[in-house]
Chains A and B, each alone.
Chain A
């Protein structure tokens, strides 16, 4: 079984400040990890993914995340928040089966950016 925990359902940051969104996962097999972003009235858009290889992965819009196996974490960061980053962010995990790989999502973190 897999699970994802996102610490903090709401995060408020000032424009230009660091954005840090926390994600911890549980998986009995090597995980594949994803961050998705959801803007109001839109679907889930992939920000970045970790599968194998380099543990620091870069995504769109200046976001990056680091896979730390020892901490079972995949925290998302952006050095400088922009007003357009206001959205809900979801961390997700899946396993490396051959097919039918369901995503298991965390509860989401809503980011508010203050001017």
Chain B
């Protein structure tokens, strides 16, 4: 079964540094998402992306964050200047269609640790 893959599985970065989290969505999917889960807290929506632009973003997704689909297969999340509070598990997801009844498929996540 096709799956969403995320790299790296664990990223350790110094505070203030830029980090790029990478995702390869399922190949025929058109809608892409990033979520994060701070340890002990809920999974939170960050951003959705369709047709090469952001569809929706949460208040968490401030100017420090950006997303890009640089080619036909990758979907990246960049954090420009990391803060301690960015430490979390970041999940990428994709779905085949926009209507909500098409479920989102999730990757295994990237654990981001900011020192």
Contact = CB atoms under 8 A, between A and B. Distances in A.
Given A51-B101, A103-B35, A43 B107 contact: yes
A100 interface: yes
B4 interface: yes
Contacts, number: 71
Given A90-B43, A100-B98, A36 B33 contact: no
Interface stretch (B12-20, B48-56, B66-74, B76-84): B48-56
Interface residues of B, number: 28
A104 interface: yes
A74 to B, nearest CB: 14
B100 A97 contact: yes
Q: Is the interface of A mostly helix, strand, loop or mixed?
A: loop
A98 interface: yes
B18 to A, nearest CB: 24
Nearest to B109: A43
Interface band, chain A? 20 to 34
Contact of A95 (B42, B44, B100, B104): B100
A56 interface: no
Interface in A21-51: 32, 34, 36, 41-46, 49, 51
Nearest to B55: A100
Nearest to B33: A102
A77 B6 CA distance: 31
Contacts of B4: 43
Nearest to B58: A102
Given A43-B6, A96-B99, A107-B42, 10 more contacts: A32-B100, A43-B107, A49-B103, A90-B43, A96-B100, A97-B100, A98-B99, A99-B50, A100-B48, A102-B58
Interface of A: 32, 34, 36, 41-46, 49, 51-52, 90, 92, 94-108
- 4 shortest interchain CB distances as A-B pairs: A100-B55, A99-B98, A51-B101, A102-B45
